[in-house]
Structure 1
Amino acid sequence: MKTLKKLLYIIPLLGAMITSCTDVENIEVEHIGGYNTLGDSEYYANLRAYKETAKNYGRPVAFGWFSNWAPSGVMRKGYLSSVPDSMDIISMWSGAPGRYEITEAQKADKEFAQKVKGIKLLEVSLLSHLGKGRTPEYIYDEIEKQAAEEGWSDSELAAAKKYARWDFWGFKSHNFDNTEELNQALAKYAKALCDSLFVSEWDGFDIDWEPGAGFSDSDGTLNNTTIQVLVKEMGKYIGPKSDPEGKGHKLLCIDGYINYFSEEMEEYVDYWITQSYGHGTPDYTSPGNIPEKLIITENFESFATSGGKLLQQAAWMPAEGYKGGVGAYRFDNDYDNTPDYKWMRQAIQINQQVFNEWKANQGKK
């Protein structure tokens, strides 16, 4: 069994939360990478209580996109349970969980991260067209059979599959002037995107919106206008709009080209995530310039060894208010540093430190 030093801001519990102040502690955690602990220790209870303080933007969060999810063997890099305990939100870049059955090892790793560490795990997708990630493969069976028998070209097959997909979701006119029909199809798609989150017990959805750059499979059904229709429909089931009483909800986040969204979208979105790669300050503000909703991130596909600008991003604060959080793309690559997650651990501490300093300047305890 390996003993790891964990740096964590802990809120002590004495039957109930008695203080809102946070302290930095060095806590010894016996940890072999996953689900060896029942999660009923005081340490984990305190950890989950700390996570609760991020609700309603009570503090900035620690965020990251996780790639190469492979919780097996002695190599700990692929385990969610090996990330820093103070991570708040993880987007599953290693694969959209709504699209496949996870293994028993992944299920155990997922449950430890969520239920013991209190980390929120999001599905993430480069949404580029109606039905992406939720269209059943069986609708293409007859088309592919016919294409093989008749010797269709690749472009003929692709067109036929596109129209079959549109038909499945209810966009049967194939006419973009028929906005009512397209919007109804998007509403059906939005419900399917959200339903699977509840069935598979994921904590929300991260829309990666990068038209013209991040994907090449657009078919015209999702553009800078219709993506906002989709977000509004998703907002019926997840995100702040679905939870007017603030009782708790699955998160709805958007990353990428967040500047394409209207101010109206603020009420539907929990966090806007700006890919400010190589920059110490964010590239964009949120559409309504609400700083506590803005997460700034670095690219650890390129800068995991040096840390890039992550620590500067962690230290950055807006002119008024406080930022929503800090994070990194493919932050699991930071595991390879010494100590593991070297840069993320420092960023988490700085992220909280500058918030505590800001709060103190407001005359709050």
Structure 2
Amino acid sequence: MKRTTYAILAGLVALGAIGCTDVEKTEIQVPNSHSSEYYRNLREYKKSDHAICFGWYAGYTSDSSPSMGLHFTGLPDSMDIISLWSGIPSNNPEYVESSDFNERYMPNAYRELQQVREQKGTRFVMCRICRIEGTGFEKNDAGIEAYALYLARCVLRNNLDGLDLDYEPEGDWLQGENFTKFIQVLGQFFGPKSGTDKLLIVDFYGQVPPAETEPYVDYFVRQCYSCSRATTLQGYYDQMSSWCPPEKFIATEQMGWYWKNGGVAFTEEDGNTVDSWGNPLYSVIGMARWNPEQGHKGGFGGYYFEYEYNTTRPANATLGDIEQKSIPYYSIRRGIQEQNPANK
């Protein structure tokens, strides 16, 4: 029965192909192309002393999608660090068979990632929710070291730029003093004390990481989700300002929730509620514009920022936007400009 049905369908498709003269063209997006000087300047900018743009990205698993919103090559050029939220794209199937840490055989995504690293200077880090329960590693010093060495191997064998640890222990054994020991082992391979130029990042939501980890960590990324006021951001930083330099503090929004407008309505300390272009100010760009009282922050960014690729901003009159042309990745692109204004 199935064979007969398939034969009929095949015949209908063939007849349709013969009789159809107007074939609809599929639009395939291609990444922008620039001069070698442009990319050289871009790489130099990312090596300079500046507040960075950081984001958790998960859209790279759709190899066949024509949308640049789901490809590494379509990321905003000036983004500095991408945390890989959907596992590590690998070009070696053996890693997938042996790994418990979400290495995935995606050779096309791996090729794109390495291209963006080399051409644009964007850095890519492995993201790992940092808990030891269920990993198979022992809850002692030997287990801490073995776990840390395993994660280091995952990063290095896939040619990545470092490690982003999501510090949300929620009762897990790997917190407090044990987490500090974990960071100290990883600090031999990543972070300021390693001498490797590989990044060690700790992101967190409610529970602040131990102060003792600071010398080993490049950036502390606070999940400031649904933050509507600059005074609230200041309070988040004040929780750790006694030991964390402001240039290591990054504020981020949950952009997957707020892709239509770039966050929640945001008010700055002086009461301002519009961006530099006169459009209503929302939290992603608000975080980009904000700096703590203690000095310049490390940067801004967002979680699931790829959701904003198809935004209609800043041409959404229902929000009060005064401009007429929409910009893909509006909040990220404009936030970078607000945070690091070009010299005029």
* Structure-2 separation of matches of 1:264 and 1:127: 17
Residue aligned with 1:353, SS: coil
Residue aligned with 1:253, SS: strand
Q: Deviations over 1:19-38 (max 9, x none)?
A: xxxxxxxxxxxx8238xx7x
Aligned to 2:67: 75
TM-fit CA distance, 1:339: 1.8
* Structure-1 separation of matches of 2:204 and 2:187: 19
TM-fit CA distance, 1:223: 2.8
Structure-2 change in CA distance of 1:131 and 1:116 (3 Å): farther
Aligned to 2:176: 224
Residue 234 (1) aligns with residue 208 (2): no
Work out which of the residue numbers 340, 350, 357 in structure 1 matches 2:338.
350
**AA paired with 1:91?**
S
* Structure-2 separation of matches of 1:225 and 1:130: 16
- 2:68/2:75 contact within 8 Å kept: no
Residue aligned with 1:241, SS: coil
Aligned to 1:9: none
Q: List gaps (5 residues or longer) in structure 1.
A: 1-30, 133-164, 177-181, 213-217, 358-365
Structure-2 change in CA distance of 1:90 and 1:125 (3 Å): same
* Structure-2 separation of matches of 1:73 and 1:262: 42
* Structure-2 separation of matches of 1:344 and 1:303: 13
Structure-2 change in CA distance of 1:126 and 1:96 (3 Å): farther
The structure whose Rg is larger is: 2
Residue 114 (1) aligns with residue 112 (2): no
* Structure-2 separation of matches of 1:229 and 1:201: 25
Aligned to 2:41: 46
* Structure-1 separation of matches of 2:328 and 2:84: 20
TM-fit CA distance, 1:289: 3.1
Q: How does 1:324-335 map to 2 (within 5 A)?
A: 324-335=298-309
Identity within the alignment, %: 31
**AA paired with 1:346?**
R
* Structure-1 separation of matches of 2:193 and 2:35: 33
Q: Deviations over 1:115-139 (max 9, x none)?
A: 111100011111221574xxxxxxx
Aligned to 1:339: 327
* Structure-2 separation of matches of 1:236 and 1:300: 33
* Structure-2 separation of matches of 1:269 and 1:75: 35
Q: List gaps (5 residues or longer) in structure 2.
A: 1-28, 90-100, 264-282, 312-325
Residue aligned with 2:259, SS: coil
Aligned to 1:125: 128
Structure-2 change in CA distance of 1:192 and 1:130 (3 Å): farther
- 1:332/1:341 contact within 8 Å kept: yes
* Structure-2 separation of matches of 1:263 and 1:202: 26
- 2:214/2:244 contact within 8 Å kept: no
Aligned to 1:303: 258
TM-fit CA distance, 1:95: 2.0
Aligned to 1:292: 247
Higher relative contact order (CA closer than 8 Å, sequence separation 6+): 1
* TM-score normalised by the chain length of structure 1: 0.67
Work out which of the residue numbers 213, 219, 239 in structure 2 matches 1:271.
219
Structure-2 change in CA distance of 1:66 and 1:200 (3 Å): same
Aligned to 1:186: 144
Residue aligned with 1:336, SS: coil
- 1:191/1:237 contact within 8 Å kept: no
Q: Deviations over 1:89-131 (max 9, x none)?
A: 0101122456324322112211122111110001111122157
**AA paired with 1:289?**
C
Residue aligned with 1:260, SS: coil
Residue aligned with 1:302, SS: coil
Aligned to 1:28: none
Aligned to 1:318: 292
Residue aligned with 1:284, SS: helix
Q: How does 1:2-17 map to 2 (within 5 A)?
A: none
- 1:258/1:284 contact within 8 Å kept: no
Higher alpha-carbon deviation: 308-317 or 122-131:
122-131
* Structure-2 separation of matches of 1:100 and 1:289: 32
Aligned to 1:89: 81
* Structure-1 separation of matches of 2:63 and 2:300: 25
Structure-2 change in CA distance of 1:346 and 1:40 (3 Å): closer
Q: Deviations over 1:157-196 (max 9, x none)?
A: xxxxxxxx2xxx4x3xxxx6xxxxx112111111111122
* Structure-1 separation of matches of 2:193 and 2:206: 18
Q: How does 1:145-184 map to 2 (within 5 A)?
A: 165=136, 169=137, 171=138, 182-184=140-142
Residue aligned with 1:272, SS: strand
Residue aligned with 1:81, SS: helix
Aligned to 2:21: none
* TM-score normalised by the chain length of structure 2: 0.71
Residue aligned with 2:105, SS: coil
RMSD: 2.4
* Structure-2 separation of matches of 1:40 and 1:233: 42
